[in-house]
Amino acid sequence: MKTISQFDYIIVGGGLSGLHLSYSFQNDNYFKNHKILVIDNFKSKKENNFFSFWEKGKGNWDSILKSKWRSGKFFSNYGNVNMDFSNYNYKTLNSLDFFKFVRKKLEKKKQIKLIKDNILKIREDNEKVVVVGNKKNYYGKHVFDSRPNKKFIREFNNYTTLKQHFLGWIIKTKEKKINKKSFVFMDYRIKDKSSTAFTYVLPFKKNKALIEHTYFSKNECEKNVYEKYLMEYIEKFLKISDYEIIESESGVIPMTSYPFYKDSSKKITKIGSAGGWIKPSTGYSFYNCEKYSLKILKNIKKGKSLTITQKKKYMFLDKILLGVLSQFNHKGDMIFYKMLNKNKTDRILRFLNEESSNIDDLKIIFSLRSIDFVKVFIQSLYKKIL
């Protein structure tokens, strides 16, 4: 017979969001006597991906960073922009270093338990939540769930949804001629003309870099499409012919207006991708995972709702931007060029981190003004779902 274990908080999934949340719990003395359980099924082998984000000054992850940059570049056929990351550094770490770092911290805390089990079901039962695992049932006062959101998988077609899909190569070159001072935020010079697609470059050493070909579009491509663009880019713009591919990473990240916050309940909070923690218009989530985890802790202390949602203004602006990218998918390079060219990098990064002032927002909206935005804005007024 299955035995029962009781906890204050249960975190289902020890991936990015689950570990960010557990890290915040273990870091806060207020929770030192709370029993916390983190469960992961470890079904698929954890890939060693590169997680990037930007933040001001020092951060919690500085000791495990792979690299950071103070300057970035944007290239397109409309023009180029030098981006100043001296205030908000652009930081990159390896996901396996992050997982190892957090798990080590958690293992030192007596009140936090990490276990392996496959969770089949989570249901509310009077005062408690029952987490039904293959091995056991677990009881918690509140559960944070980062398993894939099945409702979203069924319904995403009813909302404006794009996929950020990409293939990246980590290459090692014979000659040491990569410029490692600046990373490439977006390079639209080589791309499929009908889509928002660009190359992203993180130079780690003079002879080592990650080069990724990324689409913001409706559907994934065959592997050889990304490969063709990567080869062309390396030859034409990095001017490298002799290189070895030492690792690769690929992914599909949803960018959607789906209202994830509706899938949480009073005692079960969806977190991570399942909870809408991925910024719809960019696909970034690392920074949100940290910020939203801290907000959850704050709300627990204040007795407020633990469903963290985007502020309404950002939800609306993301919806419009996503709507424009979706309906005019070939115009992404022009949109991002206008945004980056007419605004200081700090303002854009504040805006994308959802920490901008109303003046910042107005300046960005004004810089983007075009008939396409007007059309999508009008649609948003009469369409219930965009």
Ligand X SMILES: Cc1cc2nc3c(=O)[nH]c(=O)nc-3n(C[C@H](O)[C@H](O)[C@H](O)COP(=O)(O)OP(=O)(O)OC[C@H]3O[C@@H](n4cnc5c(N)ncnc54)[C@H](O)[C@@H]3O)c2cc1C
CB 138 within 8 A of CB 10: yes
Residue 380 region by backbone torsions, left for phi larger than 0, else alpha for psi between -120 and 50, else beta: alpha
DSSP type of residue 206:
T
Shortest Cβ 165–ligand X spacing (Å): 10
Binding residues with ligand X: total (CB under 6 A): 30
CB 11 within 8 A of CB 122: no
Which residues are 322's β-sheet partners?
A: none
Distance (Å, whole) CA 36 – CA 140: 9
DSSP type of residue 78:
S
Q: Dmax over Cα atoms in the chain, in whole Å? A: 67
380 makes contact with ligand X (CB under 6 A): no
With respect to ligand X, which residue has the nearer C-beta, 45 or 384? Answer: 45
For residue 190 the two structure tokens come to 């080589």
72 makes contact with ligand X (CB under 6 A): no
In Å, how far are 18, 58, 243 from 23, measured between CA atoms? 9, 17, 39
Which of 9, 31, 53, 198 is the binder for ligand X (CB under 6 A)? 53
Instruction: From 63-71, 231-239, 283-291, 294-302, give the range in contact with ligand X by CB under 6 A.
Output: 283-291
CB 212 within 8 A of CB 200: yes
Residue nearest to ligand X (CB): 15
Interface positions, 311-340, toward ligand X (CB under 6 A): none
Shortest Cβ 379–ligand X spacing (Å): 28
14 makes contact with ligand X (CB under 6 A): yes
For residue 99 the two structure tokens come to 């997982």
Interface positions, 205-244, toward ligand X (CB under 6 A): none
Instruction: From 49-57, 216-224, 334-342, 373-381, give the range in contact with ligand X by CB under 6 A.
Output: 49-57
Phi first, then psi: what are they for 260, rounded to 5°? -55, -35
Who's near 332: CB < 8 A, 6+ residues apart?
Answer: 188, 195, 196, 197, 198, 216, 325
255 makes contact with ligand X (CB under 6 A): no
51 makes contact with ligand X (CB under 6 A): yes
Instruction: From 13-21, 153-161, 190-198, 376-384, give the range in contact with ligand X by CB under 6 A.
Output: 13-21
With respect to ligand X, which residue has the nearer C-beta, 13 or 280? Answer: 13
Which of 7, 9, 11, 12 is the binder for ligand X (CB under 6 A)? 12
119 makes contact with ligand X (CB under 6 A): yes
With respect to ligand X, which residue has the nearer C-beta, 213 or 363? Answer: 213
CB 37 within 8 A of CB 115: yes
278 makes contact with ligand X (CB under 6 A): yes
> Which residues contact ligand X by CB under 6 A?
12-18, 39-41, 43, 49-53, 118-119, 146-147, 249, 251, 253, 272-274, 278, 284-286
